Structure 1
């Protein structure tokens, strides 16, 4: 059975016949210089430096008799078709067509209707080619002086004009008469989009007048459309493209496609600019992998086309409002299409500048620097949802969370959705709990922010200063003195509670929607729990019955089996006996205990950090508040009381926690009796 590509079925034996007619060494020889010392042409044993990676030694081997190549450096391998695909950066069928033409082997014919359509497309391409050549001639005429001056002013010299085949459409026309004199049928002229019909009389008129002409070619280099830039500043449209024709589908085409594909195949970055002049300026400055959409926002088809050329194109947009808006719209188009190793980066230029402007004023180095600082798509997504958006109330924060969840839900690939959710979670935590540096400490979540006696916040913020009620408190630091609360046993107990939360959510997936925000705020002590929580959040919008399967698809079955194998889960009532109400109560209790314990530990840690500077009643008040929070967190009849002691004020706490607290109170000269009165 033949191989079916793009509607064409290759008959059995066609590829074998093609391979037998061509010499692999001749095909490869167009791209390399053979090493005469190592090669033996008589035996078809050829060696050269590899065309696919940079090297000095001849490690690229061609076995002409067997028809295969192999690189001992980068391990590239294949046959003649594979070599053309990789070296020319073309698809399979295009590689077959290239080799068949060289071998003089006719390609299999399509069905009669398809053949007729193909013949007409070929005729239209010929008409377009003649139009391109006529427009190029007009640029040399006396009537095109203004157009030549414009191009020269834009830095496009005579050599660049030739390379890009730029032409000129005179204001008084002449193309239609020229093509008729060549004997070209009127329906072909109209079918190529070179003329249009008047709405009133039905007469045809030339579409392009008084414009600089930029030919638009397809991936195989055939002229398929034109782009025209008006010379009259008062023209109705500054830029005008050919209409959609049998040759030209603007939503599926790219300007400079063929040349950019070849450059990207050699390692050049694929840069997506906004217009013809940007592409020309970039390519002339050494950025050969530049393309542009054709008068439309980038479509899904164009995105897929870009990813066929390069796995991570760089979208270079003007830094004005329109450019930013286009970038934000593109995110929504790209999210559902993301695959592993396939994404976009964004290079937002300075406001009011385009690539052409920047190159002329600052040179290629400025573009290179911008490309190196290009943003990942997740960063631009975060900017879109947060910049200029107030988040100063719970309701506004909830609205932000909803918008982010809706954006993540558009990602089809579960693994990528999970990684995006993790990245968004990190940025969200930074936004809602900004860290203070140096003497200012760091973030805390919500505990201990009431006022001490007299309204003073001793030790908060800058040393000896005052801290407003909304200021976050410092987290536990590895170097914190006397802070047992940040060490081993506390983390272990936290991990036990986290395991209960994750296991219950997996058993009762309908509860995930109710506790999603609590889970999002959970900072897991163990990395494997953090990954599991991220996977749960990434699939929060999926049907509950598919939750476990989706999580397994991201983390693997072992991750869930390892969780459920933890011995302490066997005594959790909600896991022993199916009861959704009991499970909801269990989750609410575990989340509350974790939040209270961690808040208390952060408060005591900050008090320890402030001890060297300040030791007054504000500090002891904070320690007393921490002790009361620990009491609330540990209040449960089912816990093993032998692990706890009772402080003088009746607070029940872990022995190590109580020891640490007693040590602090002793250091500031406050007796246990004083503490009990507090």
Structure 2
């Protein structure tokens, strides 16, 4: 819908900015302006200013800037039209209707929302009444305080009396609002009976539906078919004009501001998980409404933070739910937008965990959350059969299929590279069955003689205690030309066994500079190397590099896209990590064979030699494929 600039200007003029901001930020007068701590980043000294005369806010710390509409959309997560509607209601203005049909739908939704809000008030009153005694006892057993009950607006539905309490509205309206149900025999009944009620709100904090947990002893009955069917433990409002469970997240209205300030949003499985952890002082939690995360719910989460954390139960069902959500997210991934997966201890949910170990126990689980790529890798490889080339190929095929679902080409390419690097590190350096012994290796029964085997230059350098391989030089040369690679590959690079030579010293210098310098580029890195007395060593190493990987090409029109360089860099680092482990194992096997010759030792050494040759060939093919045209 298009709104005229004149209407928006009039709305800005009628609604001062400072009271809107003041609902979220404690402001104090500073001359003709207001100031406070910025809600968009954590700070202790106020650098956030609001100017009502000019109608904008600005933070001198993080650069956040905008008007009243932008504050509501960015800080509270409202869509633009929802922000306009809220401000227009505050100013006593009518938003121009797009069409008579759209106005009719808006009027109907407002009527249904009002009905749902009044129902929520009545449910709250019933929780405090004698009828709510069992529900109150249940909350007490779960350790839910009266303050949390009030904050979340919890209530109780006895199963009768709602229609009369609401003034006997039309049954069609109550059905559309999800307050009544209709059985197969046409009979109308109150949808929530004998249940603890969780009001479900939209992003603006308006009640649009309910969740109900069975409280009565024994299984409650629907009565929908006359004889009565057993209801589930949890029951939501039926989808309708007001309520769409796939497009809502429980507690989003309360968690949104906390998530933006903490730059963290945690998705848990259920209502009581949200409420139990909120009681421990952690507010930025939401939950899907009894279903796996949908695309719409993921988009809601990404409006608040770039990398929401999915924290599901540690049992099999919880882990399957996490994998389903991860796979559903893959096509939607964009640069900077992803997920992290946190796993709870087996048999515990978030509520149990904070009761046992306090908020620190839950924070420890969140701190150990895995990036999405790593979580998918573990889901496909943990416990998988990988003893043969065919089974390993099946693992690689599944990982490739996951990567191919990503629509963004840059993210898709980097996921392919990440999975390839992990696969090579895990399996190409793995010891497999030895090939048949070479002719002449055995001289009759029991007469065995070892045959001389070729030793690679890398192995010789390792045995001598020094020397940098050509691939190591190429990796560090690429790092010197493209310091931004350290941001995403620092851990893998730091683990490479480069010895104590020039490549290791330069690698460590780049990683140190990246740690202490935001947005490290070649110019800043050059200054850092000069101050450390390593500039000449860096130039010499770049001149010594003979492998023309894509990430080693000097910055010029011929240099490939960054996404290509990052993908190739990940592949080379992964293969280099795999080979270093293989070389160490081969060195030990060769030394053991020299000390105590045996047929088993010979077979083991032969298998490692063959595997090293396979890996070296793969590295050469990789170098050739990345060679500058």
Aligned partners of 1:35, 1:205: CA distance in 2, in Å? 53
Q: Who is 2:68 aligned against?
A: 80
Cα–Cα, structure 1 residues 343 and 527, in superposed 2: closer, same or farther, change >3 Å? farther
Q: Contact 2:550 / 2:564 at 8 angstroms: preserved in 1?
A: no
Instruction: Map 1:259-658; keep pairs closer than 5 Å.
Output: 259-267=254-262, 269-434=264-429, 476=459, 479-481=462-464, 487=469, 529=549, 554-555=563-564, 606=587, 610=591, 614=595
Structure 2: unaligned runs, 5 residues or longer: 221-229, 478-544, 553-559, 569-574, 618-629
Match of 1:141 among 115, 119, 129: 129
- Could you give the per-residue CA deviations for residues 481-528 of structure 1, whole angstroms, max 9, x where no partner exists? 1988x7559989xx9xxxxxxxxxxxxxxxxxxxxxxxxxxxxx9887
Q: Who is 2:521 aligned against?
A: none
Deviation at 1:256, TM superposition (A): 0.8
Cα–Cα, structure 1 residues 262 and 233, in superposed 2: closer, same or farther, change >3 Å? farther
Deviation at 1:191, TM superposition (A): 1.6
Q: Who is 1:156 aligned against?
A: 144
Q: Contact 2:37 / 2:44 at 8 angstroms: preserved in 1?
A: yes
Deviation at 1:17, TM superposition (A): 2.0
Aligned partners of 1:449, 1:530: CA distance in 2, in Å? 40
Q: Who is 1:217 aligned against?
A: 201
Q: Contact 2:413 / 2:564 at 8 angstroms: preserved in 1?
A: no
SS at match of 2:262: coil
Aligned partners of 1:31, 1:148: CA distance in 2, in Å? 31
TM-score by length of 1: 0.66
- Please tell me whether residue 14 in structure 1 is matched to residue 34 in structure 2: no
Deviation at 1:185, TM superposition (A): 1.6
Q: Who is 2:219 aligned against?
A: 234
Deviation at 1:330, TM superposition (A): 1.7
Cα–Cα, structure 1 residues 210 and 46, in superposed 2: closer, same or farther, change >3 Å? closer
Q: Contact 2:340 / 2:372 at 8 angstroms: preserved in 1?
A: yes
SS at match of 1:480: helix
Deviation at 1:108, TM superposition (A): 1.8
Deviation at 1:335, TM superposition (A): 0.8
Cα–Cα, structure 1 residues 211 and 23, in superposed 2: closer, same or farther, change >3 Å? closer
Deviation at 1:349, TM superposition (A): 1.0
Match of 2:81 among 93, 101, 110: 93
Aligned partners of 1:100, 1:131: CA distance in 2, in Å? 26
Aligned partners of 1:199, 1:608: CA distance in 2, in Å? 74
Aligned CA-pair RMSD: 4.3
Q: Who is 2:178 aligned against?
A: 193
Query: How many corresponding residue pairs?
Result: 509
Aligned partners of 1:93, 1:204: CA distance in 2, in Å? 36
Aligned partners of 1:148, 1:626: CA distance in 2, in Å? 70
Cα–Cα, structure 1 residues 212 and 456, in superposed 2: closer, same or farther, change >3 Å? farther
Structure 1: unaligned runs, 5 residues or longer: 1-7, 436-442, 461-471, 496-524, 533-550, 561-593, 635-678
Aligned partners of 1:288, 1:269: CA distance in 2, in Å? 10
Q: Contact 1:251 / 1:299 at 8 angstroms: preserved in 2?
A: yes
| Larger RCO (CA under 8 A, 6+ residues apart) | 2
Deviation at 1:307, TM superposition (A): 1.2
SS at match of 2:189: strand
Q: Contact 1:473 / 1:603 at 8 angstroms: preserved in 2?
A: no
SS at match of 1:265: helix
SS at match of 1:89: coil
Q: Contact 1:251 / 1:302 at 8 angstroms: preserved in 2?
A: yes
